[in-house]
Amino acid sequence: MKTIQMVDLVGQYEKIKPAVDEAILGVMGSAAFIKGPEVKSFQEELQAYLGVKHVIPCANGTDALQIALMALGLEPGDEVITSDFTFAATVEVIGLLRLTPVLIDVERDTFNMDIEALKKAITPNTKAIIPVHIFGQCSNMEGIMEIAKENNIAVVEDTAQAIGSKYTFSDGSVKSAGCIGDIGTTSFFPSKNLGCFGDGGALFTNNSELANRLEAIVNHGMKVRYYHDEIGVNSRLDSIQAAVLRIKLRHLDSYVAARQAAAKYYTDAFADVDGLETPTIGKNSTHVFHQYTLKTKGVDRNSLQTFLSEKKIPAMIYYPVALHNQKAYKRDGVSDADFPVTMDLCDCVISLPMHTELDNEQLEYITNSVKEFFNK
């Protein structure tokens, strides 16, 4: 059996090696390393894939979030609401821009932003909401967009973990994750569902005015070369990364299918394990399984992790500490009691290996090992 890894990027590369190598060599031969034709082609192909008017590539997913907030023209002190149960990048950029982060609790089933908590968190100072589509499925976008419209608040979707996921509205219309709010952001970090061979990111929008603004901000605030209309940043996607992404984008649907098949194998195998709650797929969103995250019940999650580790099965805790309890983001007047679901999740979640290269032998070994722990 092949060694089990959380993510198998080498195995994935080996299957597309000739095409990827040729694409990279092509960029080297042309020396168009920055803003070359590969970047433009990738931009257009991703627009078509997502069904969105504008894709603006940038250097990474964290930059994408920062640039999105810069484009909305927020003022220091404006409140931005996001989820308490996520990777820190989202709240980090809010803080960097001297905006006020307002963290809210999540739904137990989907791990995504809780609508009732969102309603309670809105104040006259709320200027943006950043739903994070955690682990691979969309937040309740219909509910979030309704609340945002009523209160005239911008929505930035953090799609770093959910590219390729689709959301169905109650009128039957279907949209891609990241293309519903005012701006969507994503990351092409190597282990993401669409990952490059280094850092990369992008912004999505259907609003042409915002697209213009985003394009200027990623490029030092320039619309016309050497004329700086506003303060921007330098955030570019390299041509080599774009060339890799163009190849991988053609495989994204099959990569999603492979992740969904692995998830189904796990969920079927754990159906009768009392101590485990398998992931819920929300009724309005497809799940692209960036992570396969279980909730343990009545057992010590860390001893399960150790047991698996002894069997050479990696398992990770995403996320062990709620954002409101991180030293950098602690605020007066905020307490654990405001986040009962997040607090519980931080104690009980465990994510199993999830990637495009898991074979049945590995899946059988992983699921049997997990069951062995519960039958001890």
Ligand X SMILES: *Cc1c(COP(=O)(O)O)cnc(C)c1O
Smallest gap from Cβ 307 to ligand X, in A, equals: 27
Smallest gap from Cβ 90 to ligand X, in A, equals: 6
Smallest gap from Cβ 187 to ligand X, in A, equals: 3
Kind plus residue range of the DSSP H or E element containing 49: helix 37-50
Q: For ligand X, which is the closer residue by CB, 89 or 94?
A: 89
Token pair in block for residue 194: 């669409």
Q: Please give the distance of CA 223 from its chain centroid, rounded to a whole number.
A: 29
Beta bridge pairs of residue 186: 202
Q: For ligand X, which is the closer residue by CB, 60 or 219?
A: 60
- List contacts with ligand X (CB under 6 A): 60-62, 86-87, 89-90, 132, 158, 160-161, 187, 189, 199, 201
Q: For ligand X, which is the closer residue by CB, 235 or 362?
A: 235
Residue 15's φ and ψ, nearest 5 degrees, are: -75, -20
Q: For ligand X, which is the closer residue by CB, 160 or 304?
A: 160
Where helices occur in 170-300 by DSSP H, the ranges are: 208-218, 239-249, 252-269
Smallest gap from Cβ 111 to ligand X, in A, equals: 11
Question: What residues contact 34, with CB distance under 8 A and at least 6 apart?
Answer: 236, 238, 239
Smallest gap from Cβ 89 to ligand X, in A, equals: 4
Q: For ligand X, which is the closer residue by CB, 315 or 363?
A: 315
The CA-based dihedral angle spanning residues 54, 60, 63, 65, taken in that order and rounded to the nearest 10 degrees: 60
Beta bridge pairs of residue 223: none
Q: Which residue is nearest to ligand X (CB)?
A: 61
Asked if 61 contacts 88 with a C-beta cutoff of 8 angstroms, the reply is no
Asked if 162 contacts 144 with a C-beta cutoff of 8 angstroms, the reply is no
Smallest gap from Cβ 293 to ligand X, in A, equals: 13
CA distance 241 to 195: 9
Q: For ligand X, which is the closer residue by CB, 156 or 243?
A: 156
Beta strands 227-228 and 154-158 are: unpaired
